[in-house]
Structure 1
Amino acid sequence: MVRSEPSAADRHLLRILERNGLKLSPYRLERWRTAGLIPRLGPHTLMRSGDSKIHTPATAVLVAGLATCAPLCRTHGDLALLAFFNEVPVPPDAVRETLAKAYFPQHAEAREQENVHLQRIPVEHRGEHGPEYDWAEAAAASDMDDYEAAVRQMRDNLRRRRDLATASRTELDGRVRGVLIWLNMPALPVHDNEFMADLRAAMAFSGPPVNSRAAWLLAAVCHSQQLAKRSETCARERLENLLAVTDEELGALREQVRESLDAMWFMASEGRSRHFPLETSAHARLAGRMLAEWTTARQAYPSGSRPAQVLVDSLHSLWSLCSTDTVGEGRAAFERRTQPPHRAP
């Protein structure tokens, strides 16, 4: 394939990047342009400098940001997401397209995984407690596979109970699975004393947070859905919600997702880390899926809700439910040791 010579504006831009330690080939610059990561050459992207036309400062900032993130990415999609979540001004259309590609295959895969677990429920038991229970059982099975650290913490916490001190791994896993089934149901059976005793022990809210935060995080994510207005959605509706996000909203949603990741990371890291290091393409895909999910999920919560606050409110709700018949620290003390710090402005 014959490659055309770079324009004078592109050559000028590449020289500026090289002077700042960012070496970029004209071919890669053109590939980014073809992929929609940088705008096409035109009156709105060029400015006059003496007798020549050069790229606007906005384009230079965009290309410099992409060049900084590029060594960490293998695909244009990964580059678009990693740059976007690191506040590089990637064109909104490219961001929306990449968000859809990051979210929908993974969403379909998760639903298929749950369906596989659903089919493993013996036929004679399906529908015994209603279809919602069947799906909750399938979701719990997926959680058991996907969140090993949280399951291990719940199992260890349950073993601290005197009557379960010598319980087998199989029995403890069964109790963890029971906790997760009801966390995936529309509501918790708060009047079931046996279940609430298991939930209280698995969460270990009365003790120090060491070795329990991953369990808290998984439970809070599940319980937050129980606090929301439940409704059925389809892939088409979710795509429409994502595409309807305005350019201005994208920036606000990015900050909300970063805030939520910080809250989750603070919890999962046992309080050791305040901010989630969004520095890899895998992390960018995770953040992208969260953003795409929130464009639909936010409709189930009061207007203005932020995902980080939803998570923390869910954790506090669980603490309240697990503390109704115990004497311990008050809500204010619990909040002080569990509330993640706000992101710096």
Structure 2
Amino acid sequence: MPRSAPTGAYRELMDLTAADGNPISVSQLERWRRERLLPAPDRVFLGRAGTRTSYPQEVKDLARALARRHRPGRLLDDTVLLAFFCDSAPTPELPLKLALVRTYFPHRERHRDTVARTTDAVPDDPGSERDIYYDWAEAEAVLEVEGGGTAVRQMRANLRRLPDLARAPREEVDSRLVGVLTHLNSPRLPENDLDLMRDLEAAIDLDSEKFSLARLAVWEYVATTHAGQMGRFEETNGQERFDTLCGTPLDELHRLRDEVVAAMQETWRRATGGHRGALALETVSMARGAARMLAEWTTARKAHPEGSSLADVCFTASLLDLARATALAWLLNRADRQRAAMPSVDRAGEGRAAFIARTTGATGRRRRTH
């Protein structure tokens, strides 16, 4: 039986979305209503003229955002997340939390399963007491090095600035890189381990003046990872995270969304040098990433002082603390690099003039300082 022509509230929404260039059907509106994205319309009594149904402006804004992000075959959760993060749509609590839960927790469990398998594959060290936190961090590090992302490749190249790794085999460099990443993924950074801190300082290269997206990726990675070490250490499990996310009030989720978007915008600004304007969160992968960041932050923020913002904790404050922690390592590494850069000749008979020229740069040779 053919469907009758839409009237009242549905017709109003269809006209609005069509005017935006995003026409939607009655069946799509009904689906959104079944999923509790759209409420029942308000009924307005017109006296002898009968009644008319209509939606408040907030619902109209939501429908326009959903229509803007809807695509044939696109998951409804992805449409909801895009509307929420890209358009700040006034999304109802239940479908929003369902989208966040279904995006965050399966991804988290898959990652944890992969790390657990990697941890189990690492042979025990006879005579040593197992540290589950270290084992887990080491497994994370092994997976990251095997994945070979942008940050990992740059950190590997940075480590070769150390004189003893300049011509070392790839396996040796990767072994030292796994050590750096393991301790970054551990609950606390072992600042008293000077050898490790020297490797860490070299790998992140905070004093570099060479801008590149790869170096930015390194700083983003270490800043986000170290931010967790700066907070109060508490164990959580999936159930606690689930309860925290589900128990977060809707208005608080909207505020946290703004923090997540601000953090992503700050990352984009740094990565592009501020030359490409604001970041457009237009892709499903970016919306899912933002959703996972928000879900993680609902729990992680409890480990930081009240009022801490995501952007500040995960970048500015974290990098400043890393610079403090690696200050001594930077001095020692810099001295080693300077010695390695000096020509290996017998200086016993070097005259005063030659010494002054060599140490002041008067010879015209530009000495490496990084």
TM-score by length of 2: 0.80
Stretches of structure 1 lacking an aligned partner (at least 5 in a row): 328-345
Q: Deviations over 1:245-287 (max 9, x none)?
A: 1121121011011112223334555776564431111111111
**Alpha-carbon distance between aligned partners in 2 of 1:113 and 1:133, rounded to the nearest angstrom:** 16
1:25 matched to 2:25: yes
Q: CA deviation at 1:126?
A: 9.6
Against the structure 1 CA distance between its residues 227 and 272, is the aligned structure 2 distance closer, same or farther, given a 3 Å change threshold? farther
- Does residue 258 of structure 1 match 2:261? yes
Cα displacement string for residues 171-222 of structure 1 (whole angstroms, at most 9, x for unaligned residues): 1111111100111122222222221111111111222152422112211122
2:328 match: secondary structure: coil
2:198 and 2:330 in contact (8 A); partners too: no
Cα displacement string for residues 86-130 of structure 1 (whole angstroms, at most 9, x for unaligned residues): 211121221111111111111111111110110110134596452
* Structure with larger Rg: 2
**Among residues 276, 280, 284, which one is paired with 1:277 in the alignment?**
280
1:15–1:188 Cα change, 3 Å = closer
Quick check: 1:287 aligned with 2:297?
A: no
Query: What CA distance in whole angstroms lies between the structure 1 residues aligned with 2:190 and 2:287?
Result: 37
Equivalences, count: 326
Q: How does 1:288-303 map to 2 (within 5 A)?
A: 288-303=291-306
Quote the Cα distance in structure 2 between the aligned partners of 1:113 and 1:268.
30
Q: Which residue of 2 aligns with 1:95?
A: 96
Matching of residue 222 in structure 1 with residue 220 in structure 2: no
Kept after mapping to 2: 8 A contact 1:213/1:269: no
Choose 283-292 or 84-93, whichever is displaced more: 84-93
Deviates more, 1:317-326 or 1:59-68: 317-326
Q: Aligned runs of 1:120-131 on 2, under 5 Å?
A: 120-124=121-125, 128=129, 130-131=131-132
TM-score relative to the length of structure 1:
0.86
Deviates most, 156-165 or 235-244: 156-165
**2:238 is matched with which residue?**
235
Contact 2:198 2:329 in 1 (8 A): no
For residue 77 of structure 1, report the CA deviation from its aligned partner: 0.5
Question: CA 1:64–1:160 in 2, change beyond 3 Å: closer, same or farther?
Answer: same
Identity %: 36
Counterpart-to-counterpart distance in 1, 2:15 and 2:103: 34
CA shift at 1:58, angstroms?
A: 2.2
Letter of the 1:174 counterpart? S
- Structure 2 residues without counterparts, runs of 5 or longer: 332-370
Aligned AA (1:300)? A
Contact kept in structure 2, 1:216 and 1:267, CA below 8 Å: no
Mapping of 1:185-200 within 5 angstroms?
Answer: 185-200=186-201
Q: Which moved more, 1:159-168 or 1:178-187?
A: 159-168
Matching residue's letter, 2:283? T
